[in-house]
Structure 1
């Protein structure tokens, strides 16, 4: 890149020409010596500084989802360290596409050797838990912990619903082949044993035991946690009914109490991928026919949204209306 090209690229009126995204101050240091012009553009709102010396066109940044924004921060931090340390915990999770049910952190997480200590730099969190070669891999040019190691780390440290959602997604598979497992339960247990001893190991083992390949979404995973915490009987997941000659599956089925629960996120009705070329109205109508067909075959049916599913007390009230009994909690909050 010539000095003239660089200066032209950095003009405010041309900032939106950076459709590919990134501008690195290190790329400009030979021509300009410092990233002062980038800082000025960021100050004027044309660029967004997502990591030290790394910028993106502000309009493009605003188009990103929170997942995409955090992933860019993680990639920026990994690029700055040139692969010297593996990305870990939530930062590895976003690169593997593992969900969490709380906001992504501002910090980027890295794994370091136990003897190195845990001192962290601004915007960086270092975990002195040891690095086993079997737990580290590379993905799209970034050194990071494997899916198995990432899931065990999350199970030991994250809030309960996020930890379960991560385990469930790592194991998930559906009958249509749209979702494939990222790891196996056996691999998770092998990783867990290799890491011993570590803080949170008992909690992590319990969460892996609780995990399932049948959860259809992170909202269902969070709902399943709250069902267990409230002491309701364990439901059957993805139980099949026949409606108008077609097999359909329900999120939660309590056979002994002949009732069904369904958890719907907004994506089912608004996400273009999930709509599959249908309009929201068509999806709502098809869902109504499906629900009516199931209702004719069970004693009780209820539906809740993501916000209700992730709130233990709101979901408890909804399930009590089904007539489900409440017993001791089946899951330790840890």
Structure 2
């Protein structure tokens, strides 16, 4: 499905980071007309297990629903809510994030988030959360015909409100620059900070600015972002990200490198070994073997090497133990003191 929109400079967005969109199978009761019994028949199909009732008036084939990821299910909920609302609505916060293909460490909400004018108030219906923050035309673009907050406004809104690790992972993804050109770059740190300044004053502005400053375009995954947050909270020295080694004549990147101890840290999630983007046509077994050769080549060139799964990267104290074993010495917390939980 083609997506279009506009960035702050006015250029078209021909490709963005949206998840694979399964919206072609959405069934809306309103599309079937006002014939008596339409909703009854849909509910009956739902009770028989053929349709999944996603929300009021929104259904989806059960067999396909079971195969969807959580982000795809939330995307269907968001599209359905937007298509059934009267008048134009602006999707924001997590509902904009799923359209931009941003990660959500804590899982996707059940509510659909809408941005509305301040004067209209923030009262919400079941399944709909309204944010009466005002609608600035500079903060609105379109994706697949849906009005949505721009990548900059979406990121700033969530940096001000999400938990720390989720916020950093989301900003890192928005900034990410893939040197192989496989993943689109969505925005820049300068654009995000300019959006913060233009939106002032707003609740969470200090927090959003600090998280954006801490964020990087070099983090390769949410697990790496979480690891970096926990390193900072534990006071470990800031690592060099994506440090290059030459292994068998080819450049290979490492997730984290500390010159002071000549040590490397690697963070892995299982997605690395099973998703098509990472496999690139290889079997999981071949990828495991290629990773072993890369790791062996790096190990030969450094004093210390450690690897941890995403679950350890998400947890401050298990990761702290790994890095102490590597030889790092913690000091004062870096940058993120007091930002662990957003103020309500």
Q: TM-score, normalised by structure 2?
A: 0.89
2:240 and 2:87 map into 1 onto residues whose CA distance is 44
Larger RCO: 1 or 2 (CA < 8 Å, sep 6+): 2
2:338 and 2:127 map into 1 onto residues whose CA distance is 29
Unaligned runs of 5+ in 2: 1-22, 340-344
Provide, for residues 125-173 of structure 1, a one-character-per-residue CA deviation record: whole Å limited to 9, x for no partner.
1111111110011100111100000000010000111111111111111
Greater C-alpha radius of gyration: 1
Query: Helix, strand or coil: the match of 2:66?
Result: helix
State the superposition RMSD in angstroms.
Answer: 1.4
Aligned to 1:122: 126
Query: Helix, strand or coil: the match of 1:261?
Result: strand
Aligned to 1:213: 217
1:296 and 1:178 map into 2 onto residues whose CA distance is 29
Query: Helix, strand or coil: the match of 1:152?
Result: helix
Provide, for residues 77-107 of structure 1, a one-character-per-residue CA deviation record: whole Å limited to 9, x for no partner.
1111255221000110000001011110011
Query: Helix, strand or coil: the match of 1:63?
Result: coil
1:332 counterpart = 2:337: yes
Report if aligned partners of 1:87, 1:144 keep a CA contact under 8 Å in 2.
yes
2:86 and 2:121 map into 1 onto residues whose CA distance is 21
1:48 and 1:170 map into 2 onto residues whose CA distance is 32
Cα distance change, pair 83–242 in 1 and its aligned pair in 2 (3 A): farther
1:233 counterpart = 2:241: no
Unaligned runs of 5+ in 1: 1-18
Query: Helix, strand or coil: the match of 2:180?
Result: coil
Query: Helix, strand or coil: the match of 1:220?
Result: helix
Alpha-carbon distance, 1:71 to partner: 0.5
Query: Helix, strand or coil: the match of 2:307?
Result: strand
Tell me whether 22-31 or 248-257 shows the greater mean CA deviation.
22-31
1:91 counterpart = 2:95: yes
Matched pairs, number: 316
Aligned to 2:11: none
Q: Which of the numbers 288, 292, 306 marks the counterpart of 2:292? A: 288
Aligned to 2:151: 147
1:283 and 1:22 map into 2 onto residues whose CA distance is 36
| Structure with the higher fraction of residues in helix conformation | 1
Report if aligned partners of 1:25, 1:34 keep a CA contact under 8 Å in 2.
yes
Aligned to 1:322: 326
1:260 counterpart = 2:260: no
1:271 counterpart = 2:275: yes
Alpha-carbon distance, 1:184 to partner: 1.2
Provide, for residues 254-298 of structure 1, a one-character-per-residue CA deviation record: whole Å limited to 9, x for no partner.
111110000111122111331111111211111111111111111
